[in-house]
Structure 1
Amino acid sequence: MEYRKVAIIVAGGSGTRMQSTVPKQFLELAGKPVLLHTINAFAAAYHDMEIVLVVPTAHFTYVNTLLKDFPSLSKITIVGGGETRFHSVKNGLQHAQNAVVFVHDGVRPLVSVSLIRRCYEATLLHGSAIPVIDMKDSLREVAGDTNKAVDRDKYKIIQTPQTFLSDLLIQAFELPYDPLFTDEATVVERLGNPVHLVQGEESNIKITKPLDLTIAAALLQEQ
């Protein structure tokens, strides 16, 4: 079966943790908004990539202005966000039938073409691909007034794009919302489906605080 390639890029954040009135996905990074770096990565990965941008309706006008010079505008659909990430992704999934679906944070602008392709190939084989990296810091589990060390080798840091065959993901998102649904993998697992892990990238950082923007700029300069 020939699958479409659809990237659902979720960009509904505010500027609260960035201490900025400008939402973090629109902050400037190396001369252009963070969100455009993210879009460009997916557009560069495959010539037939379709992009579904999920943003608050209040940002539609601004996003359209950002995209007016984008060469593949015909492949970009803008969709209104929901109350939570779960609802935002569900809105995006209305445009993702018969596809390999990449769900990606709009504020992970350094995702590489190679990681996107790695997720795609793994999804064709396993039905899903969740990029992860190793824990570097020591971990402790806290329970009330007590705490204990845990084996960090048993844990992974989760990244995006979380990638799935659309049939699997659309079915999972018919479930009623649960606050424990922190990402797409947890929704898919609720139906009893295992998810396949792939190697992520240290540079695939999520920009949530001012320091992250500084780090991203330095990484871009190295590249």
Structure 2
Amino acid sequence: MGECTHIAIVLAGGRGSRMKSSVPKQYLLLNGKPVLYYSLKAMEDSFIDAVILVCGAGEDGYCKKELIDKYNLKKVCSIVQGGKERYDSVYNGLKEIARLEIADEDDCVYIHDGARPCVDAELLNECKTNVEVYRACVPAVPVKDTIKIVDSYGFSADTPKRSSLMAVQTPQCFRFIDALKAYSDMENAAAGGADISDITDDAMVVERFAGIRVKLCKGSYNNIKVTTPEDIVTLENMLRIK
């Protein structure tokens, strides 16, 4: 693959029910700034050429005023509304890239959870190197705990070898044409009655509907996702150290 354009889709449409907060987790303050700010700032300061921000219904005004304008984030070129499920939001972002005509077939797209504020230049560069070579990559780290497969009654049914397990993160990175086609084919399959309820990340979509193998590249244990109130405290300490 030659020199290509790199476009990020940053997802900020989640509600975060486990946070026990009326404020969506991506807008909670982290050292005085919204959680979402940190992901957008990382993209702003990197090789990424443009950012599509996908937010919840009615949140575009807040994002423009309190994030894009306030912090002068020039790479955010469009704000689109998310969908019911994560994969709906991703597809909306991909369709916006196509509508704006800012990506060719061989250009790369980086799909990132806005609730992962510790994405940094090292991780983005690792993803860039791998997606340009392998067409599809996701950052991942070895799991630290033993993982159990449970049966429907809550009993341990199997214990996979820990050495074969990796915890997958974002940004998940693909050639734009591969991601767009995979998501389009998935939508068509779902409309035809296919069950896609087991799909939990973008790599699964590309693997299943584009038939492309996804390379796992080096992730970071710091690249955690805000899921519980305790995560805010952990991330505040991480960001202070950085």
Work out whether 1:65 is the aligned partner of 2:65: yes
CA distance in 2, matches of 1:141, 1:23: 31
Match of residue 115 from structure 2: 107
Match in the other structure for 1:131: 139
Q: Aligned partner of 2:129: which letter?
A: E
1:220 aligns with 239
- Provide the alpha-carbon RMSD of the alignment: 1.5
Q: CA deviation at 1:102?
A: 0.3
1:161 paired residue number: 171
Structure 1 residues 69 and 58, CA gap change in structure 2 (3 angstroms):
same
**Secondary structure of 2:17 counterpart:** coil
Unaligned runs of 5+ in 2: 98-102, 191-195
Range with bigger deviation, 124-133 or 56-65? 56-65
Give TM-score scaled by structure 1 length.
0.94
Q: Any conservation in 1 of the 2:80–2:96 contact (CA below 8 Å)?
A: no
2:33 is aligned to: 32
Equivalent runs, 1:46-125 vs 2, <5 Å: 46=47, 49-66=49-66, 67-73=68-74, 75-96=76-97, 97-98=103-104, 99-125=107-133
Instruction: Answer whether contact 2:44 2:74 (CA < 8 A) is retained.
Output: no
Greater alpha carbon shift after TM alignment, 61-70 vs 141-150: 141-150
> Which SS does the other structure have where 2:53 is aligned?
strand
Q: Retained in 2: the 8 A contact 1:133–1:156?
A: yes
1:23 and 1:72 mapped to 2: Cα distance? 21
Residue 187 of structure 2 is aligned to residue 186 of structure 1: no
Does structure 1 retain, via aligned residues, the 8 Å contact 2:26–2:36? yes
Structure 2 length normalisation: TM-score? 0.87
Cα deviation digits, residues 137-158 of structure 1 (max 9, x gap): 1122212444233211111101
Range moving further from structure 2, 211-220 or 167-176: 167-176
User: 2-side partners of 1:202 and 1:74: how far apart?
Assistant: 27
Would you say the 8 A contact 1:49–1:75 is kept in 2? no
Q: Flag the 1:74–1:138 CA change in 2: closer, same or farther, 3 A.
A: closer
Aligned-partner SS, 1:90: helix
> Percentage identity across aligned positions?
33
Higher strand share: 1
Secondary structure at 2:19 match in 1: coil
